[in-house]
Amino acid sequence: MAIPDPSPRPSPEPVKADTDALWPQVRSMARAFWKSPARNRLIFLGGGLATVIALTAFGQMWLNAWNQPFYDSLARKDMDGFIHQLWVFAGIAFLLLTLNVSQTWLNQSTKVKLREGLVRDLLDDWLQGRRAFRLAFNSEIGVNPDQRIHEDARHLSELTTDLGIGLLQASLLLATFIGVLWGLSRGIVLHIDGQVLAIPGYMVWCALLYAGIASLLSWKVGSPLVRLNALRYAREADLRFNLVRVSEHMEGIALHGGEADERDRLSSDLDRVLGIMRRIVGAVTGLTWITAGYGWFTLVAPILVAAPGYFHGNLSFGELMMAVGAFIQVQQALRWFIDNVSAIADWRATLLRVSSFREGLQAMDRLGEGRGRIDFAPSTDRQVILSGLEVASPAGAISLSQPEVVIEPGQHLLIIGDSGTGKTVFFRAIAGLWPWGKGRIGLPPDDDLQDREGDGVMFLPRHPYIPPGTLRAAISYPQAADDFDDWALVEALGSMGLAHLAARLNRSARWDKELTDDERRCLAFARVALRKPKVVIMDEAFDVLDDASLGRAMAIFREKLRKTIVITIGRPEVRDHFFDQVLRLSLDPAGPRFLPDDHATGDADRDAPTAGDDEEGLSVRAVPKESSL
């Protein structure tokens, strides 16, 4: 039975937008903002923006009041008054220009700082307490975390800033000009069937009714964009993932002549993206009928509304233009929602992806609550103890052929198992990455299960991780590059036949790409020689070495690390008799199971210790060998 691989993969189904969860998501992100180190800086920038926008609203009110004397001077053909008003306009325009430039700087600075705070918060949550590893098993939230941390966080920061500033500006404009428009409405009377009707705040009510109808129509037509944008981002992430996958495996694809097959797969992914985009095009086109129609009619709407006061009232031409200007300003404030329906839908979809990712990360701390867990406790005398260990895997219960095992310093243990018995899951369980099951794992007391640095326990996975940077940093990882002297680094490289790399210790490169497969595997054992751990636990790390490299690796333990415990999970030993004991893994499909998405398929009661479990059995030692291989 195959054990699922936690490596990132495209989601079979795109993320679905849950519009009912908007306010909980907003509150969650607001709490994250309040705890962010960037909070004070963002509050300062927000205060600056509010001040600039308020001054801009004052300047626009001044500009609107300027309309009356300017147009009245035109109506009177007063050249001196006309020239004077042009100078007044120049002063107002310079003030508004200065404020606009200041607002642009504050706007862009806010985007940068907001993105910094959001991305740092997501990185802290993601790379904390093995959350990233566990999230990788999630079929939806764990897909393409790079997309959510990089692109979605950037997009959310920019949309939040633009929409927030726009809403604040519209609110201040509305508060400023609604009083002006109310006052100008006093000069407007309606003549209906010979009756004179004066409606208090006539133009204000017309503006509110006009904008309200347009807003309702805009949301009715534009609300499907929330779901469509969420689908689009999920499809885009899948396409990007598969493009990267093909790029990374191009050699194998070329050797198998699989270009046509991969092209078909990528074309299928592209078709799904284009299909969603076509639906978005249709939705945006329908929305444009409302927003553009509203915009065009707004050109004449204020004149039509104010015309009765000009033709039948006592409004002068200048007062008419002032009323028209105030009506337009109120409409610009009220049409903020109409103009931004598409952007709001985009913001809502992006907020859904970012907040669900953040909540999913935090939920990883509660993953498997109520299920049995392996007890990790320090051992004594630098021993490794595996007592009554049973690992609940997706395929069933994984256990050793011998329930009580104690490995003394200097001993070497080989754990073998048939294909599909869960060797990698068992390795992860010992490493603390997969804590579900029962029994006890005891490691030397100076080994902190949350911090593998130092000379405690080292874990060697099947594929070693080589970080970018200098070769010195790569071999020292995860410790700092300057923790070791040059001679120690050179000696460690030489112990695994990598002496030719010593001259490149300070060279920065993508060593995971530049080194050959054999060199990367040998570099992992060079780290062991450098750090001299008390315990080394490997997942088939011996099995992938060639004969010469395997001999060098075994020589490190025999000659330099004689007191180091070695536990290897892999294939049967065929030579050298390196191991002191050999145990076998078995998989019981009827035993307790655990799926990482917290949908266990086994009986939960099986996770509880049985009455026959004997804690005193922890002191029972393993026999030298279960079998001779």
In a domain, 5, yes or no: no
What is the per-residue DSSP string for 93-121? Answer: HHHHHHHHHHHHHHHHHHHHHHHHHHHHH
CATH number, domain of 52, equals 1.20.1560.10
Give the residue ranges of DSSP H helices in 432-485: 471-476
Whole-number pLDDT of residue 627: 33
Q: Give pLDDT tens digits for 386-444.
A: 999 999 988 899 999 999 999 999 999 999 988 888 899 999 999 988 999 999 999 98
Q: Give pLDDT tens digits for 78-99.
A: 888 888 888 989 998 999 999 9
For helices 341-363 and 79-126, angle between their N-to-C axes, nearest 10 degrees: 20
In a domain, 182, yes or no: yes
Helix H or strand E encompassing 453: none
Q: Do residues 166 and 340 make contact, with C-beta atoms less than 8 angstroms apart?
A: yes
Whole-number pLDDT of residue 254: 81
Residues 361 and 229 in one domain: yes
In a domain, 627, yes or no: no
Last residue of a domain, one of 304, 336, 366: 366
Minimal CA–CA distance to 571: which of 588, 589, 550? Answer: 550
Q: Do residues 235 and 272 make contact, with C-beta atoms less than 8 angstroms apart?
A: yes
Distance, in Å, from the CA atom of 42 to the CA atom of 29, rounded to the nearest integer, reads 14
Minimal CA–CA distance to 387: which of 588, 567, 614? Answer: 614
Model pTM score: 0.69
In a domain, 179, yes or no: yes
Last residue of a domain, one of 366, 383, 404: 366
Q: Residue 159 carries which DSSP code? A: H
Residues 358 and 466 in one domain: no
Whole-number pLDDT of residue 261: 84
Whole-number pLDDT of residue 592: 86
Give the residue ranges of DSSP H helices in 411-546: 423-431, 471-476, 486-495, 511-514, 517-531
Distance, in Å, from the CA atom of 32 to the CA atom of 18, rounded to the nearest integer, reads 20
Distance, in Å, from the CA atom of 460 to the CA atom of 522, rounded to the nearest integer, reads 11
In a domain, 399, yes or no: yes
Q: What is the count of structural domains for the chain? A: 2
Residues 414 and 444 in one domain: yes
User: For the chain, which ranges sit under pLDDT 70?
Assistant: 1-21, 138-140, 142, 184, 187-198, 251, 309-310, 312-316, 446-455, 573-576, 596-629
Burial label for 203, CB within 10 Å (0-12, 13-18, 19+), is buried
Average pLDDT, whole number, for the chain? 80
CATH number, domain of 534, equals 3.40.50.300
Residues 84 and 152 in one domain: yes
| One-letter identity of residue 3 | I
Give residue 461's region: left, alpha or beta (phi > 0; psi -120 to 50): beta
Residues 117 and 235 in one domain: yes
The domain containing residue 330 runs over which residues? 19-366
Residues 395 and 316 in one domain: no
Whole-number pLDDT of residue 217: 83
In a domain, 2, yes or no: no
Residues 359 and 419 in one domain: no
Q: Residue 458 carries which DSSP code? A: E
Residues 335 and 438 in one domain: no
Distance, in Å, from the CA atom of 420 to the CA atom of 457, rounded to the nearest integer, reads 26
Residues 356 and 405 in one domain: no
In a domain, 492, yes or no: yes
